[in-house]
Amino acid sequence: MGIRDVPPGPDPLLRTLAEFRFELRCFLYFSETAAQKAGLQPQQHQLLLQVAGAPEGTILTIAYVAERLGLKHNSAVELADRSEREGLLARTVDAADKRRAILRLTRKGKLLLGRLAGDHARELNELGPRLAKTLKNISRYSHKSAQMEPQ
């Protein structure tokens, strides 16, 4: 802790941004691996999470999950196709607007997602504080002030 948090040498902002992305990558790697161990593709996991974790009252359309996952509509369609084929997800045509497909999890999908959620929460409880600290360092170094007391 202290000055070693952002060692001297190269541009401290680049140094800290690199560290942040590394920590982020570690989390994503954990997440991808956990999903695959559970028998899900990482993106399928994300789809299930956005479906199950949507705010109350959300209309769970393809367009909604596409926006939440940062995907184009057609990519979300394909992801839902694959997930449906594997019995993780079900589509039903919206009775109120037959253009829409409503997504919901199957029991299998819920089960797998639930297991992953606990693991992710644990991992984030460990990683979170480190991420937060690195984020603070970024803000410190991006305001290009000479560094005062670390932390």
Partner DNA sequence: ATATATATATCGTGACACGATATTTATTAC
Partner DNA sequence: GTAATAAATATCGTGTCACGATATATATAT
Only segment of 73-81, 85-93, 95-103, 113-121 that touches a copy of itself (CB under 8 A): 113-121
Q: Which is nearer to DNA, 75 or 106 (CB)?
A: 75
Binding test (CB under 8 A) with a copy of itself, winner from 35, 80, 89, 113? 113
Task: Determine which residue in the list 16, 61, 134, 137 makes contact with DNA, applying CB under 7 A.
Answer: 61
Strand pairing partners for 105? 89
**Which of the choices DNA, a copy of itself, none does residue 79 contact, using the CB cut-off of 5 to 8 A by kind?**
DNA
Q: How many CA atoms lie within 13 A of 19 on its CB side?
A: 22
Smallest gap, in angstroms, from Cβ of residue 91 to DNA? 6
Beta bridge partners of 52: none
The reply to whether 85 sits near DNA by the rule CB under 7 A is no
Give the separation between CA 124 and CA 122, rounded to whole angstroms. Answer: 5
**Which residues are paired to 102 by β-bridges?**
92
**How far apart (Å, rounded) are the C-alpha atoms in residues 8 and 12?**
7
Q: Applying CB under 7 A, does 72 fall inside the site for DNA?
A: yes
Which phi and psi angles does 13 have, rounded to 5°? -70, -45
What does the alpha-carbon distance between residue 31 and residue 118 come to, in Å, rounded to a whole number? 12
Q: Tell me the residue length of the chain.
A: 151
Nearer to DNA among residue 63 and residue 121 (C-beta): 63
97 interacts with, out of DNA, a copy of itself, none, CB within 5 to 8 A per kind: DNA
Residues that bind DNA (CB under 7 A): 41-44, 61-63, 70-75, 77-82, 91, 97-101
